[in-house]
Amino acid sequence: MTSTPAPNFTSGRVLLAWGVHLFTASGALFGVGAVVAVSAGDLSLAALLMLIALFIDAVDGTLARAAMVSEVLPSFNGRRLDDMVDFFNYVLAPTVFMIGAGSVLHWTLVGFPILASAYGFSQDDAKTEDDFFLGFPSYWNVVAIYLWLLDISPAMGSAIVLAFSALVFVPLKYIYPSKLRVLFRTTGVLSLMWLIGIAWCVWDPARAARTGGIELSLLYPVYYFGLSLWIGGWHSPSKR
């Protein structure tokens, strides 16, 4: 199947648009690499590859809008591509990581985040018109990494996974960092700082644990949930 470029765009613009789609698709390669690393017992490498995939997803939307990919390649569904890659990188690869890290009591428990996220990804209003995620946005990669870094017991890890799985169905608004209408630059800077910091933690988890780097990195998730509570109107959540 081919995608016919819209008229009146130069070959350079068309190549740029395809390049953005290729960049989005490349995130799946890092997700596969993470699964392979888990099977080899290298959890640090697996976590790092998941973070690279997270970075790709964090910036590809901005690049797509800048390159006007939907106008240049109107018959290619970039949102569908993004959803496919995201489901693998945010749900499937992290749940494999949880199993490999021993973060849950039994491997079947990862069925809860997988099924909950399958529901969440399929909702028309999973991303609201005012640019929020509705329901917990399946950040299982972040959950999996912290369960491992903090050496959470399988019993507690199972409880955390079940709790976040339930939150997928609760219609609370969570911020969409790349589409924030307030504190956009502040959140962008903090997101980048967190990504660099957590990457160092997964690269050298022993030193990060000794220096308190892991606990310090938790300030960003606290900021994320706090900002979601504030501007997402959790006191009167919108209905699905």
pLDDT-derived band at 178 (thresholds 50, 70, 90) equals confident
**Contact criterion met (CB below 8 Å) for 224 and 58:** no
Give 188-206 pLDDT, tens digit per residue: 999 999 999 999 999 999 9
What gap in Å lies between CA 37 and CA 48, rounded to an integer? 10
Show me where the domains of the chain are located.
11-231
For the segment 160-182, the average pLDDT, to the nearest whole number, is: 94
Burial grade of 175 (CB within 10 A; 0-12, 13-18, 19 or more): buried
pLDDT tens per residue across span 45-99: 999 999 999 999 999 989 999 999 999 999 999 999 999 999 999 999 999 999 9
Rounded CA-CA distance 77/74 in Å is 7
Query: What's the rounded Cα separation, in Å, for the pair 191 and 163?
Result: 24
| Amino acid at position 145, single letter | I
Confidence of residue 7 (pLDDT cuts 50, 70, 90): low
Radius of gyration of the chain (CA): 18
- Looking at the predicted structure, is the pLDDT value of residue 1 above 90? no
In CATH terms, is domain 11-231 a member of 1.20.120? yes
